[in-house]
């Protein structure tokens, strides 16, 4: 059974739309980085609450979580300062951290904070490697956060257009790609799926050898009953994958397609590969 960690909305300490958008994106990306299948289930809290040990403890209790994570963010003169804390249901601090980085390096913070949280919880084996994402321009980071807000608020076309533009303009910047993929996964089963399907198709055109993007494309094509297209995407993902976990997911996708088409022997072969 997975351990539950609540992630509270990060608080911007100044009245600044850019700081608010950055705090919102950081909390969502930290929750995504913290989620480890069968190990940690990160639950992103919607309601804004005070960032204090007591409030974190209350949130952990309400969500039946082992701990709750929150942070205060200050953005000024191109520098992001983050003060984060992790507390248990009893309201006692389990860990706290402080970090200041140039705004252009803010996309490193989610992985850094997720890693520190997992280490504090004793999940050393699940902690991600330190982020090596190169520093981008501060304006690119703000564009990312604004685009993520637009997607969250329902303006999927405009938000995903901006994310894909950033993917093309800033190829070394991974955050726009993963933000789009995370949003697409969250949209599965909802009325925003067609818009995300179009966005994932365009993302795959921009990154034709990206195994994770191809995997998402295969999933979306399968959900839209495009079996040949899904098969093509899964096979390409398998060919491009360097991560064994992505290879396994691509093989599982191929197995599901084969089983649905009544090709049981082929399905078994793919499952063995997974």
- Residue-wise pLDDT for 51-68, tens only, equals 999 999 999 999 999 999
Size of the chain in residues: 274
pLDDT confidence tier of residue 46, bands split at 50, 70 and 90:
confident
What tens digit of pLDDT does each residue of 35-44 get?
988 888 999 9
What is the mean pLDDT of the segment spanning 250-271?
87
- Which of 151-155, 260-264, 269-273 is predicted least confidently? 269-273
Residue 171: strand pairing partners: none
Structure tokens at 223: 């959900």
pTM more than 0.85: yes
What is the mean pLDDT of the segment spanning 262-267?
84
Specify the pLDDT at position 94. Answer: 94
pLDDT confidence tier of residue 176, bands split at 50, 70 and 90:
very high
Q: Residue 262: how many CB atoms within 10 A of its CB?
A: 8
**Surface-to-core class of residue 206, CB atoms within 10 Å of its CB (0-12 exposed, 13-18 middle, 19+ buried):** middle
Contact 10, 70 (CB under 8 A): yes
- Alpha-helix runs per DSSP H in 224-262: 227-240, 244-260
Alpha-carbon span 135 to 102, nearest angstrom: 8
pLDDT, mean over the chain: 93
- Which of 5-9, 81-85, 266-270 is predicted least confidently? 266-270
SS3 state of residue 121: coil
Pairing outcome for strands 67-76 and 79-87? antiparallel
pLDDT confidence tier of residue 271, bands split at 50, 70 and 90:
confident
Domains, in order of start, for the chain? 3-126 (3.40.50.10070), 136-206 (no CATH), 208-274 (1.25.40.10)
End-to-end CA separation in angstroms for the chain: 22
What is the mean pLDDT of the segment spanning 227-235?
96
Residue 126 has pLDDT above 80, yes or no: no
Specify the pLDDT at position 168. Answer: 97
pLDDT confidence tier of residue 147, bands split at 50, 70 and 90:
very high
């Amino acid at each position: 059974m997975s351990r539950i960690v609540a992630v509270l909305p990060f608080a911007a300490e100044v009245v600044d739309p850019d700081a608010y958008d950055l705090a919102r994106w950081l909390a969502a990306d930290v929750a995504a980085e913290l989620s480890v299948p069968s190990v940690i289930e990160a639950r992103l809290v919607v309601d804004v609450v005070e960032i204090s040990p007591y409030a974190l403890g209350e949130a952990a209790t309400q969500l039946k979580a082992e701990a709750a994570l929150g942070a205060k963010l200050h953005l000024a003169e191109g520098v992001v300062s983050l003060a984060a804390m992790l507390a248990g249901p009893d309201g006692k601090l389990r860990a706290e951290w402080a970090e200041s980085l140039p705004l252009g390096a803010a996309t490193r913070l989610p992985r850094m904070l997720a890693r520190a949280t997992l280490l504090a919880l004793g999940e050393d084996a699940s902690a991600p490697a330190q982020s090596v994402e190169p520093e981008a321009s501060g304006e690119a980071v703000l564009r990312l956060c604004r685009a993520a807000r637009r997607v969250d608020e329902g303006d999927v076309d405009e938000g995903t257009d901006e994310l894909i533009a950033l993917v093309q303009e800033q190829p070394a910047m991974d955050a726009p790609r993963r933000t789009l993929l995370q949003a697409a996964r969250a949209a599965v089963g909802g009325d925003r799926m067609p818009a995300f399907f179009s966005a994932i198709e365009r993302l795959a055109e921009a990154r034709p050898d990206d195994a994770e993007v191809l995997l998402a494309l295969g999933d979306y094509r399968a959900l839209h009953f495009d079996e040949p297209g899904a098969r093509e995407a899964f096979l390409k993902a398998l060919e491009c994958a360097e991560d064994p976990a992505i290879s396994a997911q691509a093989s599982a996708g191929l197995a599901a397609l084969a089983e649905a088409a009544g090709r049981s022997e082929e399905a078994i072969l793919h499952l063995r590969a997974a």
